[in-house]
């Protein structure tokens, strides 16, 4: 009984702390400011990744795709919460890339820790081009 009460109390405490965190604020959603920033993040996170000249920054600043210098892979940076997360997209990394209205790519990774992500490019042509490129990576 004591254990159950402790668990219930803990659940209430967890909910209260998260609610307090939301209420008090103090964090800023992360944004990718430029392709140079995306390239630097990719170099830092992926260590052996050398960003090339080709890339695209999402219109909302929440994602960026950067082709590697040798052209064999694409680096992906995603803004999540107040941090950035990177992935190397190589052959076999993507299960499918769907294009939606408004130049949006829905990217489905074969990655247990990064299942689906949305990239808003704002231009349908660019979205189709990158979706094709990512599907064939």
Partner 1 sequence: MDIELIEPIYIAIPFFVAFIIAEMVYARTTGKARFEPRDSAASLAMGLGNTIAGVLFAGITAAWLTFIQQFALFDIGYVWWAWIAAFVLDDFTYYWSHRWAHTVRWFWADHVVHHSSQHYNLTTALRQPWFTVFTFKFMWLGSWLVLLGFPPVIIAFVGSLNLIYQFWIHTEAITRMPRWFEAVMNTPSHHRVHHATNPIYLDRNYAGVFIIWDKMFGTFQPELDEERCRYGIVKNLGTWNPLRISLHEWWGIAKDVAGSKSPKDALGYIFAPPGWSPDGSRMTSKTIKEIWEAERRDGGARADSEPTAGSRLPAE
- Residue 37 phi, psi dihedral angles, 5° rounding: -60, -45
Q: Which one of residues 1, 24, 91, 136 is an interface residue with partner 1 (CB under 8 A)?
A: 24
Q: Does 21 bind partner 1 (CB under 8 A)?
A: yes
Instruction: Return the H-helix or E-strand segment holding 29.
Output: none
Q: Which stretch binds partner 1 (CB under 8 A): 67-75, 94-102, 105-113, 128-136?
A: 105-113
Closest CA to 117 of 66, 72, 68, 58: 58
Q: Which stretch binds partner 1 (CB under 8 A): 73-81, 91-99, 119-127, 129-137?
A: 73-81
Q: Does 84 bind partner 1 (CB under 8 A)?
A: yes
User: Phi/psi class of residue 116: alpha, beta or left (left: φ > 0; alpha: ψ in -120 to 50)?
Assistant: beta
C-alpha–C-alpha distance, residues 79 and 74, integer Å: 17
Number of residues this chain uses to bind partner 1 (CB under 8 A): 51
Q: Which stretch binds partner 1 (CB under 8 A): 66-74, 80-88, 96-104, 121-129?
A: 80-88
Q: In what order do the strands lie in the sheet with 94-100?
A: 94-100, 104-109, 116-120
Residues between 1 and 20 that touch partner 1 (CB under 8 A): 3, 6-7, 9-11, 13-14, 16-18, 20
């Amino acid at each position: 009984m004591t254990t159950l009460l402790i668990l219930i109390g803990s659940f209430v405490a967890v909910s209260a702390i998260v609610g307090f965190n939301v209420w008090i604020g103090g964090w800023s959603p992360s944004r990718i400011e430029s392709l140079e920033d995306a390239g630097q993040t990719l170099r830092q996170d992926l260590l052996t990744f050398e960003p090339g000249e080709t890339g695209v920054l999402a219109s909302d600043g929440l994602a960026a795709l950067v082709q590697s210098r040798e052209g064999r892979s694409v680096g992906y940076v995603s803004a999540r919460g107040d941090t950035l997360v990177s992935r190397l997209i190589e052959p076999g990394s993507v299960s499918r890339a769907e294009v939606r209205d408004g130049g949006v790519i829905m990217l489905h990774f074969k990655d247990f820790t990064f299942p689906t992500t949305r990239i808003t490019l704002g231009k349908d042509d660019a979205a189709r081009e990158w979706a094709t490129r990512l599907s064939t990576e």
